[in-house]
Amino acid sequence: MYVCNCNGLRQRDVAQAIQAGAQRPRDVFASNGCSAQCAKCVCEMRQMIQDTRESFALAAE
């Protein structure tokens, strides 16, 4: 499924960027060699980043 239609970023692209250390949507775009266009995807990216942080925190306990 696409997260960012403007840049053609799929969930797996965003997830890979987060796994590689992306902390903000800006980092996700940079790791995929693009930049925000309409920014409708930013909220979903933020949620994916937050969910990943929470899962790492739970795994560390």
Distances in whole angstroms, Cα of residue 5 to Cα of each of 2, 25, 53: 6, 14, 24
Q: What is the DSSP string of 1-38?
A: -EEETTTTEEHHHHHHHHHTT--SHHHHHHHTT---SS
Largest interatomic CA distance in the chain: 38
Query: Average pLDDT in the 41-50 region?
Result: 98
pLDDT at 12: 98
Q: What is the pLDDT of residue 61?
A: 76
State percent of the chain over pLDDT 70.
Answer: 100
Confidence label for 59 from pLDDT (cuts 50, 70 and 90): confident
Tokens of 19: 């796994």
Alpha-carbon gap, residue 56 to 29, rounded angstroms? 22
Report which residue type is found at 58.
L
Give the global pTM. Answer: 0.90
- Taken in order of first residue, the domains within the chain and their CATH numbers are 2-60 (1.10.10.1100)
Give 57 or 7, the one with higher predicted confidence. 7
